[in-house]
């Protein structure tokens, strides 16, 4: 079963929300930690709503689940925290026959609907105290990553089946037994 991608967001909008919200909560994320939170946010949406929250695939990489587009956007941070809120976006546009760099005000809080922000916040808050390496270890213990070949897409049905299991949904929210 594939999950609906209607009413989903681009993964970058979800990532930008997570970055800004984590900063607001006093716990900025690194790109590595961001990737794991993205994975758990997608799992939360699949379990609670039976739909994806963002439309890009999650891939099994060496250090766990990754949304490649998001990784590429923030890879320049290497293993440092992303500690600058994203409040503007830069883009190229044609103006009077020339290509110029333009900036636009950006607020992911206005893009992500309230009910989706609440779901994302629950996941973020559950993992605030976890380090990126702890999250890598935990995702490596979970079958969606374990049964997927490196560089292949982690299937939504694998995520649903695993996190629907007994006491597994707690892992989405940072409650590990």
How far apart are the C-alpha atoms of 57 and 65, rounded to whole Å? 10
Helix, strand and coil in the chain, % to nearest 5: 50, 20, 35
Q: Which domain holds residue 158?
A: 11-172
Q: What's the pLDDT tens digit per position in 119-154?
A: 999 999 999 999 999 999 999 999 999 999 999 999
Indicate whether 106 belongs to any domain.
yes
Structural domain total, the chain: 1
The pLDDT, as a whole number, for residue 90 is 79
In a domain, 21, yes or no: yes
pLDDT tens digits, residue range 105-123? 989 899 999 999 999 999 9
pLDDT band at 6 (very low <50, low <70, confident <90, very high): low
177 is a domain residue: no
Q: Report if residue 3 sits inside a domain.
A: no
Residue 42 lies in a domain: yes
Q: What is the value of pTM for the model shown?
A: 0.91
2 inside domain: no
Output the DSSP codes for 84-122: S---EEEEEEEETTEEEEEEEE--HHHHS-HHHHHHHHH
List beta partners, residue 88.
Answer: 105
Residue 7 has pLDDT above 80, yes or no: no
Report yes or no on 6 lying in a domain.
Answer: no
């Amino acid at each position: 079963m594939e999950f609906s991608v209607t009413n989903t967001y681009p993964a970058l909008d979800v990532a930008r929300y997570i970055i800004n919200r984590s900063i607001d909560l006093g716990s900025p994320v690194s790109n590595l930690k961001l990737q794991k939170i993205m994975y758990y946010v997608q799992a939360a949406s699949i379990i609670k709503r039976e739909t994806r929250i963002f439309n890009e695939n999650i891939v099994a990489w060496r250090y766990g689940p990754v949304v490649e587009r998001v990784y590429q956007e923030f890879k320049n941070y290497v293993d440092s925290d992303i500690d600058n809120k994203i409040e503007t976006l830069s883009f190229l546009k044609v103006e009077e026959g020339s290509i110029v760099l333009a900036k636009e005000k950006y607020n992911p809080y206005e893009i992500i609907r309230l009910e989706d922000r609440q779901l994302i916040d629950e996941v973020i808050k559950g993992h605030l105290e976890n380090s990126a390496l702890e999250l890598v270890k935990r995702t490596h213990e979970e079958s969606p990553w374990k049964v997927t070949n490196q560089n292949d897409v982690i299937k939504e049905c694998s995520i649903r089946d695993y996190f629907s299991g007994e006491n597994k949904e707690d892992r989405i929210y940072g409650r590990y037994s």
